C-alpha cells in the first residue's frame, strides 16, 4: 500500500456519541469520504541462507533467549515473563543477509539497516494455531551501524511477511545507541528487519511533510460506536481498531466498499440492533485485550517521547498502512488511570495526526476532536479527549506506538471474518450458551429482573453467574466470562454442562459476555451470549481478584492488611476471611481451579485498627499480598501441574462528589508456581517454592489536585 501526499487544514469541535446520527447522503445512502487510491505496494526483501544463532525453551515460569557475544546477532534478547504461556514453547533464532540491491517497495529515503532475523516458535498443535503469547514479550534486536546511512535515531524494526509481501512496524520500547539495539513488545513472532529513514525526513515535520495511507473512518472504520470505554461496560476499542486495520490492509476489495458499509442490520440509522457487528467486535477484543492492559516500565519512562511520534510516522511511510496508537492517562501525581484507549493514525499533515477513534464513528478528515498535534521540535503538545459525551470526556496525555504489541496473526482475524459473513450462524458449529436463574430449569444463581425494566438487577457488588453450555463441534471444558472488560474462567461440569463463577460488579450497568471456548479466545466455534446486570450496591472502593489458568487446583490469596503504629494488620486468607459487614473480607475459598477469589472493600468499610482494640482506621495504607499453591487435584499423581496466576487490583483512587466523577486505579501482578505444598498456610511469613514473593500495593489518601491531567511532556531524543 502506498502512502500518498495530502495536506489538510484543521477545524475543532466536539463529537457527541450520546446524540450520534448517521451521515446519510441523498436517497438515504451512506456518504463517503474521498481518499487516495488504496494501492498495495509489494515489499520484496530477498535474502541469502539462514544461520541459526540461538535456541531454547521457555515455560510458564518465563525465561530469556539470547544470542552469544561475538555472534552476528550480539545483543539479541527475548525476555518472556512468567505466566505468558501455559506450556513449554521452543524458540529458534536465525539470520540471513538481505540482498539490499534487490530490495523492492521501500519509500524514497528508506534503506535496510540490519540482517533479516527470523524468530520461530513452536508449541502444541493448539498453541501453534495462532502462536500468540498471553502476555507481552520484550524483544531487543541489533541493527548494523555500518548499514546506517544517516542517523541511528531514524532506525525502526519491522515484521516482514514474505507471503503477503508486507512490512508491519514493531512499535517502540527504547533504543540503546551504544549497543546499536532497539527494543519493542510483541505477542507473536516472525521475520524482523530494521529499516532506516533519513532523519531529514522527520525534520520536515516542522514544515511540509504529509503522509496519507488512504484510510478514512467514514469508509473504513466501523459504523457502530465503541459501546463503552474502559470506564464503562463493554468497551471494545482495541478489537475495533485492530480489526479495522486488518480489514483495510488485507481484506478490503481494492477500492471497493470498506468496513463502514458492512454488517448493517435493521434500521440503517441505528446501531444497537446490529448484532453481527457487536458480536464480531467483542470476539476480536476478547482475543487481543490480554496483551493490552498495561504500559511496560520502559514505555512509562518514555512517556510521550519524540521517538514515539516519529515511529508512528515511520510506520505510515514504510508500511503505507494506518498505525495503532495506544492512549493512557497519567495524573499530576505520577500515577496512571486504569485501562486505556486505542485509536488509528491514518494521516499526517500540517503538524497533526488525523485519527480514527471508535468512540466517534464516521468522522471525516479534518474532523472535530480527531486530531493530535505533533512536530519534530516539540513532540506531542496537546491532550487528546475522547469519551461518551463532552460533559464527561476521557482525557489522555500519554501516547505510544502499539503496533506489534497487539499484533495478531492474520488467520485469527480471517476466521472471525468468515464467520461474521454468515452472521455467526450454524447450530452444529456453535455451542448454545444459556444463563440459569431462579426461573429456569435447571435453577441457577444469575440475578433476575426484579423491577420490570428488562435488565437483570442486584443490590450486591458481586454476583454468581450460572449457566449451561451444550452442543457445538468442540468439547468445551471451560468458558470465558467477561464482565465489563474483566476476564474470568469458569469450569464446565462434564456431566451437567453447567458453569458457575462469582464476579465483581461496578455500580450501574455491567456488560456480561459469555464465550464458550476452552482456552484460545480466537477459536471460531466459541458459543456466545451477551446480557446486562445492573448493580445498585454501595460504591466499591477496593477489589483484589486472584485467578489462575488451571483447573483441579487449589490456589489461595493471602492479604496482610496495613500496619498501624508498628502493629501488623489482619492476615486475611481462607481460614480468616474477615467480616462481610463493616470490614474488608475474602469472599470464598476456591478449591476446584481457575478462581476467582476476591478481597472486597466498599467505600463505607473501615479496617480494624491492630494497634487499638475495638477501634477502626481508614482503608488507606500499604497492603501486602501473596499467592499460595496449596494443592494439585488433577489425575496425574506422579507430577504437579504448574499454575499461572494473575492478581488484579482495582481501587477508587478519588471520588469527585461535586461532579460525580470516579477516578479508578489499577495494578496487576502475574506469576508461575510449579510446586504445591499445603504447609505454612496459616502464616503470612511462610515462603518456599509453593509461594509467590511478597507483592505490595499502596492505597494512598487522595489529593484532589493530583487528579488533574497535565499536557503531554515535551521530550527530546
Check for a shared fold between 51-199 and 426-536: no
Q: How many other β-carbons are positioned within 10 Å of the β-carbon of residue 25?
A: 9
Interatomic CA distance for residues 704 and 50, integer angstroms: 58
- The rounded percent of the chain whose pLDDT value lies above 70 is 85
Residues 473-487 have a mean pLDDT of 74
Question: Which range, 114-123, 453-462, 627-636, 699-708, has the best average confidence (pLDDT)?
Answer: 114-123
Q: What pLDDT was estimated at residue 687?
A: 96
> Is 51-199 a CATH 3.90.850.10 domain?
no
At 281, list the grid cell. Answer: 467486535
Residues 31-53 have a mean pLDDT of 85
Higher pLDDT, 271 or 337: 337
**Residue range 535-563, pLDDT digits in tens:** 988 767 899 999 888 888 999 999 999 99
Return the CATH class of domain 426-536.
mainly beta
Q: How many other β-carbons are positioned within 10 Å of the β-carbon of residue 48?
A: 12
Higher pLDDT, 286 or 97: 97
Mean predicted lDDT score pLDDT of the chain: 84
At residue 377, does pLDDT exceed 60? Answer: yes
- Of 30-44, 284-298, 350-364, 489-503, the poorest mean pLDDT is in 284-298
At 41, list the grid cell. Answer: 505496494
Interatomic CA distance for residues 397 and 390, integer angstroms: 17
Residue carrying the nine cell digits 480527531: 370
At residue 389, does pLDDT exceed 60? Answer: no
Q: How many other β-carbons are positioned within 10 Å of the β-carbon of residue 477?
A: 13
Distances (CA, A) of 364 to 19, 72, 244, 318: 17, 48, 16, 24
14 pLDDT tier (thresholds 50, 70, 90): very low
- The rounded percent of the chain whose pLDDT value lies above 90 is 45
Residues 348-370 have a mean pLDDT of 88
Domain boundaries, the chain: 26-41+205-406, 51-199, 426-536, 538-708
Give the residues across from 473 on adjacent strands.
Answer: none
Q: What pLDDT was estimated at residue 637?
A: 78
What are the two backbone dihedrals, phi and then psi, of residue 418, each rounded to the nearest 5 degrees? -60, -40
**Residue range 406-420, pLDDT digits in tens:** 666 777 888 889 889
Q: How far is CA 307 from the centre of its chain?
A: 22
3-class state of residue 158 by DSSP: strand
Amino acid at each position: 500500500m502506498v502512502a500518498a501526499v495530502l495536506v489538510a487544514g484543521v477545524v475543532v469541535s466536539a463529537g457527541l456519541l450520546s446524540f450520534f446520527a448517521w451521515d446519510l447522503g441523498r436517497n438515504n445512502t451512506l456518504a463517503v469520504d474521498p481518499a487516495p487510491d488504496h494501492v498495495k505496494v509489494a515489499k520484496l526483501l530477498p535474502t541469502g541462507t539462514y544461520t541459526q544463532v540461538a535456541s531454547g525453551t521457555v515455560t510458564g515460569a518465563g525465561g530469556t533467549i539470547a544470542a552469544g557475544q561475538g555472534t552476528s546477532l550480539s545483543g539479541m534478547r527475548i525476555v518472556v515473563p512468567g505466566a505468558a504461556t501455559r506450556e513449554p514453547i521452543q524458540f529458534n533464532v536465525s539470520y540471513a543477509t538481505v540482498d539490499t540491491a534487490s530490495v523492492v517497495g521501500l519509500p524514497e529515503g528508506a534503506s535496510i539497516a540490519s540482517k533479516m532475523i527470523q524468530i520461530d516458535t513452536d508449541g502444541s498443535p493448539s498453541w501453534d494455531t495462532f502462536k500468540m503469547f498471553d502476555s507481552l514479550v520484550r524483544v531487543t534486536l541489533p541493527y548494523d551501524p555500518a548499514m546506517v546511512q544517516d542517523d541511528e535515531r531514524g532506525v525502526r524494526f519491522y515484521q516482514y511477511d514474505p507471503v503477503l509481501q508486507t512490512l508491519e512496524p514493531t512499535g517502540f520500547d527504547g533504543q540503546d545507541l551504544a549497543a546499536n539495539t532497539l527494543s519493542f513488545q510483541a505477542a507473536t513472532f516472525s521475520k524482523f528487519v530494521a529499516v532506516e529513514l533519513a532523519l531529514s525526513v522527520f525534520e520536515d515535520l516542522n514544515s511540509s511533510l504529509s503522509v496519507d495511507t488512504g484510510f478514512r473512518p467514514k469508509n473504513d472504520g466501523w459504523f457502530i460506536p465503541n459501546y463503552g470505554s474502559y470506564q464503562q461496560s463493554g468497551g471494545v476499542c482495541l478489537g475495533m481498531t485492530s480489526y479495522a486495520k486488518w480489514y483495510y490492509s488485507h481484506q478490503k476489495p481494492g477500492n471497493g466498499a470498506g468496513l463502514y458499509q458492512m454488517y448493517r442490520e435493521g434500521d440503517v440509522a441505528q446501531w444497537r440492533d446490529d448484532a453481527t457487528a457487536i458480536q464480531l467486535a467483542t470476539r476480536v477484543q476478547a482475543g487481543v485485550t490480554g496483551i493490552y492492559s498495561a504500559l511496560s516500565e520502559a514505555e512509562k519512562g518514555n512517556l510521550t517521547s519524540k521517538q514515539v511520534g516519529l515511529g508512528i510516522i515511520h510506520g505510515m511511510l514504510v508500511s503505507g498502512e494506518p498505525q495503532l496508537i495506544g492512549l493512557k492517562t497519567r495524573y499530576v501525581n505520577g500515577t496512571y488511570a486504569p485501562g486505556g484507549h486505542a485509536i488509528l493514525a491514518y494521516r499526517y499533515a500540517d503538524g497533526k495526526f488525523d485519527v480514527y477513534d471508535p468512540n466517534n464513528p464516521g468522522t471525516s478528515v479534518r474532523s472535530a476532536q480527531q486530531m493530535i498535534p505533533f512536530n519534530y521540535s516539540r513532540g506531542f503538545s496537546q491532550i487528546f479527549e475522547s469519551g461518551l459525551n463532552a460533559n464527561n470526556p476521557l482525557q489522555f496525555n500519554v501516547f505510544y506506538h502499539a503496533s506489534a504489541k497487539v499484533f495478531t496473526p492474520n488467520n485469527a482475524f480471517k476466521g472471525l471474518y468468515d464467520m461474521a459473513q454468515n452472521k455467526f450462524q450454524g447450530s452444529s458449529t456453535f455451542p448454545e450458551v444459556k444463563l440459569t436463574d431462579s426461573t429456569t430449569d435447571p435453577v441457577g444463581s444469575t440475578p433476575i429482573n426484579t423491577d420490570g425494566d428488562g435488565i437483570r438487577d442486584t443490590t450486591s457488588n458481586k454476583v454468581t453467574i450460572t449457566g449451561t453450555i451444550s452442543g457445538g463441534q468442540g468439547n468445551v471444558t471451560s468458558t470465558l466470562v467477561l464482565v465489563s472488560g474483566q476476564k474470568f474462567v469458569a469450569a464446565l461440569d462434564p456431566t451437567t454442562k453447567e458453569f458457575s463463577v462469582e464476579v465483581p460488579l461496578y455500580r450501574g450497568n455491567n456488560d456480561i459476555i459469555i464465550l464458550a471456548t476452552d482456552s484460545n479466545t480466537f477459536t471460531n466455534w466459541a458459543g456466545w451470549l451477551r446480557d446486562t446486570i445492573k448493580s445498585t450496591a454501595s460504591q466499591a472502593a477496593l477489589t483484589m481478584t486472584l485467578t489462575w489458568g488451571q483447573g483441579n487446583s487449589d490456589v489461595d490469596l493471602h492479604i496482610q492488611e496495613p500496619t498501624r503504629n508498628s502493629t501488623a494488620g489482619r492476615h486475611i486468607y481462607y481460614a480468616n476471611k474477615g467480616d462481610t459487614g463493616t470490614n474488608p473480607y475474602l469472599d470464598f475459598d476456591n478449591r476446584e481451579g481457575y478462581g476467582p477469589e476476591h478481597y472486597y472493600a466498599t467505600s463505607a468499610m473501615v479496617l480494624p485498627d491492630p494497634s487499638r482494640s475495638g477501634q477502626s482506621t481508614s482503608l488507606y495504607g500499604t497492603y501486602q499480598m501473596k499467592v499460595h499453591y496449596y494443592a494439585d487435584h488433577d489425575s496425574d499423581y506422579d507430577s504437579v501441574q504448574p499454575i499461572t496466576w494473575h492478581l488484579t487490583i482495582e481501587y477508587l483512587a478519588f471520588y469527585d462528589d461535586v461532579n460525580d466523577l470516579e477516578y479508578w486505579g489499577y495494578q496487576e501482578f502475574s506469576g508461575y508456581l510449579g510446586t504445591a505444598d499445603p504447609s505454612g498456610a496459616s502464616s503470612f511469613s511462610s515462603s518456599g517454592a509453593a509461594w509467590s514473593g511478597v507483592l505490595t500495593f499502596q492505597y494512598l489518601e487522595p489529593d484532589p489536585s493530583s487528579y488533574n491531567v497535565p499536557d503531554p511532556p515535551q521530550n527530546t531524543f
